[in-house]
Amino acid sequence: MTVYKSLQNGAFQSLDERRKKAVIMLFEDELTDEEIAKTVNRSRQTLANWKKNQNFIKAQQEYRHIALDGYVPDAVKQLHQLSLNAKSEMVRLQANTTILTMAGFGSADGNDELRKAQIRKANADARIVEHKANELEGVGHVNPLLKALTKGAAQLVPKEEENDANTVE
């Protein structure tokens, strides 16, 4: 196995054969922990203890990294084929976007310039909404509508006269 040869001089290499086999089987994720333990002639509890051991954990990480690195060329080829031959225009677009992102021509969540423009727009929208709220609340200036309503209301209420008909002396 090419993955196995690539793990020389690391935590994986320092493991005994049973632990190495357990690391590989855990990565493949086809068996339960109990089945893996039985395959390596150990108890389920022993496997659980191995999984808590820092060297075993590091060996799992090394194996995962090397194994997944082996998949990258095939994955990129598949993406390229999708970008050229997919029936769906959306699939072709997504494949091309992924390839460009992997090549460093954008971030994982889209074009950096587009993201910056979206942030600027969101900030501008927030300022506009805040300004409109301040206008409605009368913060920072006199709201013309409130001023007119207040003036109109003042005209409707008669000024108190010295001899008001409703006042008892």
Quote the mean pLDDT of the chain: 82
Measured CA angle at 12 (ends 2, 74), to 5 deg: 35
Collapsed DSSP state (helix, strand, coil) of residue 88: coil
* CA-closest candidate to residue 78, choices 59, 98, 49: 98
The answer for residues whose C-beta is within 8 angstroms of residue 57's C-beta and 6 or more apart is 51
Q: Which is more confident, 162 or 57?
A: 57
Task: Show me where the domains of the chain are located.
Answer: 2-105, 110-157
pTM: 0.48
Most confident of 1-5, 35-39, 142-146: 35-39
CATH number of 2-105, picked from 1.10.10.60, 3.40.50.720, 1.10.540.10, 1.10.1060.10: 1.10.10.60
* CA-closest candidate to residue 77, choices 59, 54, 98, 93: 98
Please tell me the predicted confidence (pLDDT) of residue 126. 84
For 51-79, how does the pLDDT look when each residue is reduced to its tens digit (9 = 90+)? 999 999 999 999 999 888 888 899 999 99
Please report, in angstroms and rounded to a whole number, the separation of the first and last CA atoms in the chain.
Answer: 111
For 103-152, how does the pLDDT look when each residue is reduced to its tens digit (9 = 90+)? 877 665 556 677 777 788 888 888 888 888 877 776 666 667 777 777 77
Please tell me the predicted confidence (pLDDT) of residue 138. 66
Please tell me the predicted confidence (pLDDT) of residue 121. 85
* CA-closest candidate to residue 68, choices 144, 15, 7, 146: 7
| Integer Cα distance of 35 and 44 in angstroms | 8
Count CB atoms within 10 A of the CB of residue 127: 10
Token pair belonging to 136: 């409605």
